[in-house]
Structure 1
């Protein structure tokens, strides 16, 4: 009885507090001017010296008070033209994703390329011409253990991490600005020993036979951060231990086997400035006293003068390297996220095996997390 009375008092207190806050706080709805309500074409275009790289993504921004904050730009006409007057037409493979009709199309060093877009409303856009510069090879792609200090319950705790880094050197001295991107791939496996709940909600361990098609999967992810570096003020065009990625403790990427493929580009000063400005804005956003994000328009403009565009089209020479990291190559603690799954006999969930059901799709089949097709490079 005392427990029920205490719970009721807590509920009543929260209810009254909610009413008080509702009556005391007026929602702030800023007035939006005409520019805030404009939709802007957002262009993400990068072609490389790798076959099949002629892909351009088009999105449309929406007013500030609208969710989601972008839509795919469908129904556009897109093509790329080089300085030899060779034209590459792109078709809409997915909503807002445009790819070259020639699956083997690739950029060539010393050739200049330009992107042309006509959106669904008939407005024309074009990029500035971009010359493909030769990029230096990646000298080293390696990893090392590192330590980070975090504060938990006002106590400083040291944790392990794995840093993946690159070393590069352009002996010709022609590269002043570097850019990198990567795709990481890791293996996941659903365990045969699971934790299930009996009819009374009590956990117990049992062994099951998980079919191979839903047990072994590979997850691939592109990078989500901006990786650029300037060596313009150095006497040599050298990059030393530039950190591509840091993986912390109890991450599932390191539990079995991990691989990362890094691509390196030599970029122009203008493109470096564009990406570096975006990086500064992304890293500083979120505080009342942060700098106000300025518009970063890139090298796309409306040739009709009737629309605005954000983003960048670039053509680069790509140099790549891949490494594998085995679970015994480091001492950073890792985790298998499937070991936290709970299974029940309630048919209302997601079917797992036999009469067991998962409460989430993730725990029912590894294909909800990755692909069960083993990568060619694995």
Structure 2
């Protein structure tokens, strides 16, 4: 959920003005002052999984600026016994650490930014997350629904899920050939040169929450996580989803619920007004220094499933980028290979053979044949065929 808090906070003030305005046309006066409020987001896994803390700054509403990572900070975790663990900046604004922590202790996250401001979280008590009981899917006339089932307990009643989607797709026109600038001929592509099968990922999932106490025996049955509509390219070949389940406390649940409402429910005159969000991080050496965000701690649980095209067949699909893709009618003769293929804007696709001799190729544009323009041809490390 990286960048989600920052993006929502940036728009809250503008949305509030529009939603409470009158019916007459109105151009609000929105300050362009750069408040640069620190935004903190993260989950510390006590079971040895990678823990990440993301630090960023808010942007002025009309600045057009996106994610503004906070680099160069000192981030550490301190237990009630005084032991400390330092987080390393693994990428700009993202601080990581892997360790096994005692579930019976309380902890606080500390942050020292380059401008000299120090921040400290409220004390955190780790929560052990129950295992995922079922991760599955249901197909109906509207598409495919991915769902999860789990069972809470007295210590774990509030749940937060996030997920990663990956899927295989193919370009509009498949080519197994490549122009060789040395021989001036057309060769079969090697495995590391293939562009007719790629993987794509979803990096910005929505906020999914549930209070298990609402249900009998704290049992959550088939909570919808993802809806894949008909004609989506995600199910044209093979699809995978990994879901991470976290049990959180009520304070963290309320924080994410406010954020979810601000993100998902705003949009009409009867929608809830944007709510102010703060979190469990506080500045300790600067009066009036604002900070927004939440850090929680515990042991998460995860599960992955795969869905093949034949599992949901027949599956109609439509890929807008390939709507008008087709083979050129004319043949590119051998003598013209270099002129037509050297720039890479057009690629050889189908050999034209007279008797037993290849005299040329029919071609198509790179946009229609090269799937790496929209994804990667490198198989993910976790992928199972």
User: TM over 0.5: same fold?
Assistant: yes
Aligned to 1:132: 126
Q: Is 1:375 equivalent to 2:381 in the alignment?
A: yes
**How many angstroms apart in 1 are the aligned matches of 2:382 and 2:272?**
46
**TM-score computed with the length of structure 1 as normaliser:** 0.75
Aligned to 2:115: 121
Find the residue that maps to 1:85 and give its secondary structure: coil
Q: 1:174 to 1:94 in 2, by over 3 A?
A: closer
Aligned with 1:242 (options 220, 223, 243): 223
**How many angstroms apart in 2 are the aligned matches of 1:190 and 1:33?**
46
**How many angstroms apart in 2 are the aligned matches of 1:161 and 1:219?**
19
Aligned to 2:310: 328
Alignment of 1:67-146 (within 5 A): 67-100=64-97, 104-146=98-140
Aligned to 1:228: 209
CA RMSD of aligned residues (A): 3.1
Q: 1:72 to 1:374 in 2, by over 3 A?
A: closer
With 318-327 and 335-344 compared, the bigger mean Cα shift is at 335-344
| Residues 351, 357 of structure 1: 8 Å contact kept | yes
| Residues 123, 306 of structure 1: 8 Å contact kept | no
Q: 1:193 to 1:215 in 2, by over 3 A?
A: closer
Deviation at 1:87, TM superposition (A): 1.5
| Residues 163, 205 of structure 2: 8 Å contact kept | no
Deviation at 1:262, TM superposition (A): 1.2
Q: Is 1:291 equivalent to 2:272 in the alignment?
A: yes
Gapped runs of 5+ residues in structure 2? Answer: 1-24, 176-185, 329-339, 350-360
Aligned to 2:28: 30
Deviation at 1:211, TM superposition (A): 4.8
| Residues 78, 117 of structure 1: 8 Å contact kept | yes
| Residues 124, 302 of structure 1: 8 Å contact kept | yes
Aligned to 2:55: 58
| Residues 197, 371 of structure 2: 8 Å contact kept | no
Aligned to 2:161: 180
**How many angstroms apart in 1 are the aligned matches of 2:371 and 2:219?**
46
Aligned to 1:255: 236
Q: 1:359 to 1:216 in 2, by over 3 A?
A: closer
> How many pairs are equivalent?
322
Aligned to 2:298: 316
| Residues 159, 209 of structure 2: 8 Å contact kept | yes
**How many angstroms apart in 1 are the aligned matches of 2:122 and 2:311?**
46
Aligned to 1:17: none
Find the residue that maps to 2:310 and give its secondary structure: coil
| Residues 143, 162 of structure 1: 8 Å contact kept | yes
Q: 1:231 to 1:365 in 2, by over 3 A?
A: closer
Find the residue that maps to 1:138 and give its secondary structure: coil
Aligned with 2:151 (options 139, 159, 169): 169
**How many angstroms apart in 2 are the aligned matches of 1:285 and 1:55?**
29
**How many angstroms apart in 2 are the aligned matches of 1:119 and 1:276?**
28
**How many angstroms apart in 2 are the aligned matches of 1:358 and 1:82?**
59
**How many angstroms apart in 2 are the aligned matches of 1:335 and 1:82?**
52
**How many angstroms apart in 2 are the aligned matches of 1:309 and 1:175?**
27
